[in-house]
Amino acid sequence: MIRLEKRPTPSRLWTAVTPVFAVLATMLVGGALFGFLGADPFEAIRTIFWDPLFHPQFAAYSRPQLLVKAGPLILIAIGLSIGFRAGIWNIGAEGQYIMGAVVGAAAGLALYPSDSVLVFPLMILAGALGGWAWAMIPAVLKTRFGTNEILVSLMLVYVAQTILASVSSGLLRNPEGMGFPGSRNFKQWDAAHNAEIIAGTGMHWGVAAALIAVIAAYVLMARHIQGFNIRLTGEAPRAARFAGVSPTRIVVLCLGISGALAGLAGLFEVTGPAGQITIDFNSNYGFTAIIVAFLGRLHPIGILLAGLLMALTYIGGELAQLMLGVPGASIQLFQGMLLFFLLATDVFTNYRVRIGAKGVA
């Protein structure tokens, strides 16, 4: 008889190896899936995981693109992980990402066509503020009225999308755009352009901000008293209250950080890779970042690696579509599998398998 037995403390070894198992299982089952779709499974897996890094034709372009794609994912996921550690579930990072972009872009466009060096820093500030303010809505509702932050933050995504649609065909529309929706293109306005810091590397300010966030989150969670309070609130809420940690403060702090970081990600994206506010500017980074946060075990370094891995599956997935003609939905399925297998193998972190009769544990 096979039994699962709860471990007294989660296994550190398994915490580290389950993501690797999840990736391997995804490769195996995903390969079979591509096989059924008529593609060579080995070629498909190689195209997704190897070609973006080492293909002679694509790699020089797609390696920097990994950073471009991973940057916002990491930045948002870092913010989310802090809240998740405290048991505060911000599911609405997508909305905060949109509002950061909208508010930041609006602050910049109000100054068009100024070429002051202060334009971009001001936009960064406005972007962070926009995301923060959007996250404060569920925070205040939760602390004042006890509403559920999962529902409120998720619902606010749809409100943000509607605002996005409205401003791209109204308030922020490019006056020279012949009536078509979409703002001015920030790539054509040097003062507001989030250009690559070193050309050809994919390293723009958003990627730099993501790396800084990784380090800051590491210091906060490992070395700072607030980090300890956050973890304590998540692991033992009653103990935290006895220790004098204010739950209200933790909620406001966690949602504030994750909202501000998501807002920053939106701002860096709209002024950089995306270039303009459009009706469907958001591309699900806010939701994908939830997967990245869990894949990275809510640990800053883990999130860094998970973000890069996720970016790899995106770019490799695009190549697989292009080169092998596999359908786009199969790539999404493939990414979904990754989270599924991670959650499934997670069981071994908290439980150990016992084979045989019930013994003394």
Partner 1 sequence: MNRRTLLASAALAMSLGGAALAQDTTKACFVYVGPIGDGGWTYQHHQGALAVQEAYGDKVEIAWQESVPEGADAERVLTQMALSGCNIIFTTSFGYMDATNAVAAKFPDIKFEHATGYKREHPNVATYDARFYEGRAVLGHIAGKMTKSNKIGYIASFPIPEVIQGINSYYLHAKKVNPDVELVVTWAYTWFDPSKEADAARAMIDQGVDVIAAHTDSTAPLGEAAKENGAVIGFGQASDMAAFKPSPRVASIIDNWAPYYVKRVGAVMDGTWEQGASWAGMPEGEVVIGEITEAVPADVKAEAEAMIAAITAGEYHPFTGPINKADGSAWLAEGEVADDGTLAGMNFYVEGITAEIPN
- Sites of contact with partner 1 (CB under 8 A): 56-62, 65, 68-69, 162, 165-166, 169-170, 178-182, 185, 187, 200, 269, 272-276, 278-281, 283, 315, 318-319, 321-323, 325, 327-329
Q: 235 near 243, Cβ under 8 Å?
A: no
- CB 21, min distance to partner 1, A: 29
Of the pair 166, 246, the CB lying nearest partner 1 is at: 166
- CB 27, min distance to partner 1, A: 22
Of the pair 47, 143, the CB lying nearest partner 1 is at: 47
- CB 356, min distance to partner 1, A: 50
Instruction: For residues 34 and 42, give the distance between their C-alpha atoms in angstroms, rounded to a whole number.
Output: 9
The alpha carbon dihedral of 252, 257, 258, 264 has a sign of positive
Of the pair 36, 180, the CB lying nearest partner 1 is at: 180
- CB 321, min distance to partner 1, A: 5
- CB 192, min distance to partner 1, A: 15
Count CB neighbours of 164 within 10 A.
22
Of the pair 269, 346, the CB lying nearest partner 1 is at: 269
Of the pair 66, 221, the CB lying nearest partner 1 is at: 66
- The amino acid occupying position 60 is A
- Joined together, the tokens standing for residue 296 give 């990275």
- Joined together, the tokens standing for residue 132 give 């923060």
Q: Which helix (H) or strand (E) is 3 found in, with range?
A: strand 2-6
Of the pair 136, 333, the CB lying nearest partner 1 is at: 333
- CB 188, min distance to partner 1, A: 9
Of the pair 187, 354, the CB lying nearest partner 1 is at: 187
SS3 352: strand
Instruction: For residues 72 and 263, give the distance between their C-alpha atoms in angstroms, rounded to a whole number.
Output: 10
Concatenating the DSSP letter of every residue in 71-100 gives HHHHHHHHHHHHHHHTT-----HHHHHHHH
- Bridge partners of 352? 5
- Joined together, the tokens standing for residue 86 give 């405290």
- CB 273, min distance to partner 1, A: 4
Cis peptide before 121 (omega within 30 of 0): no
